[in-house]
Chains A and B, each alone.
Chain A
């Protein structure tokens, strides 16, 4: 179903992560689990009905299978939600013992993880608009085909339909949305989510008879953990023979996503039903928490680095600090924040076991620090050198002059840039979801993946960000105006 992300940068990360993980991972996983008493499992709760969120709970076919596996093996379980791209990193860094997320075998993946025996066979089918002339699955080979990025449908169509125009979406429901608006002719996706998508399309889409290909879902374990893999395979075999897996699947297939059509009903379904607004609210709280803490870390780092950078000291330690500060600023400003948060979470803090939320705060703080440093440095340089000379000529120390004479003027000069950085930070925290932090954006995405209705969750999230930013802009401009007018008294 899904395939690991092909992004070059991530591949490099992956390489380092594996190197790193090998160094810190001396003990075998099974021994560790026995010591700990429970299994750590990672999934990507964005794929209803295999793994998705109901409120704060992670549920789904895979999740129930994972629970059963743990039960059969005699352990407790802890389930974590991360982005699909991050699953390999979770495994190789030792953050989890196994990953279960409707994954199927591929040679490429098998280089970084080991796969269990299959626990479920899924068929990939074709969804078309109800009035479409397409009658059989073979007819799509030169059409505009929508797939979920990285899913096996994507790989299959890329390989087998070279003359097709393939459109890749983040989720299958996004693809169906484009299908219904006529931008594409067909969507290729696993049969279970396909049935659900057709259900919620309100009679506008149908599944074409037959299927393109079949695939087997497997559990992924860290490379080389043979004991653990054997245990899992034994338990899977047992679950198959005693009918546990069929029971679990039957429980979830046929669960309807909701039939809302008009806006009021959509709002009800996306925000009120199953207390989904609570997810949005807790996401908003998380976004604010991350932003505020990251802001303070960023200011602390930023001011420190700016002071190091403008220092005229010829001391060897200061010279070294200056080089280090410049390196830090260049690297942080020269790389995307998504990559930074991955590096910080999976490489730097991999073995510390710090909570994701804290890591996200630190990561965004580190990111913001580099920008604040440059803003503050610019502010300090914008203050006339005569101010420094006047302070020093009165016998004030360099530190006192900086603190009481230069910095107050520098900060005033760059206040609008600093508040701009704060506002940027709020929006940038939306990538915290990549390491599984349930922030505002991710809350919206999760609701979308549950209801298959993009409009209300997306607009709600956008509106909240907008109101937040607009309010802060007003507050900051008031503060700024007050600070400026104080000079003219």
Chain B
């Protein structure tokens, strides 16, 4: 498995990166390379040019800015998993990042790369959905923010335009929430057979608001709206827990594969959701 031939650019600023991409039609952004390079090795992608973002300072770092947590697109999974600001404001993002792939992948792979790739069984899409995060992007036309809820469109499909690059992920700081991410990895690939990200805001023993996102079971990660609606404003009794978990994939076309059929995946999504909710209830 060797890579074919391609042009390689290594810009040191965002402006330079965007300009280089414009000058090389068909160029792909190279972040950690944990998804793109395997595709190229398998001859499933053959971009004529790669614009390597590793040297772009504008994309690095984790900061508190105004009312948001700002996570640079080139932040590696390993850094996300351990960063104190991420732990404070978006602990489920840290939890999800700590379960991506293996240590080598976590040391190379980035949040921007993972979101742009939009693998339907990746961990971070569920995390940014449950956090109501915004994907900040830049292009020759300027900058814009794409809400996570509108970002994932299908398998390996996002709302990114071809010339747009992810600059950062911003997570609103909205006070205390209990958060968790739980995953059942595929025994070979390590991708999520089911991954559940949940963030609950409590008022006393009631759930004031609930965000529950699911990855691995449909063609893209999604928010479990029926589950959220059932939980909101309610005391999380055992009965409600079972009911809310049971509808986590409602309205979704659940997919199956050799390892886990659609029926079993749906079941697992329910079991995993129940485990996450039980954990968040006990974690008070």
Whether chain B is bound by chain A comes out as no
B residues near A, CB below 8 A?
A: none
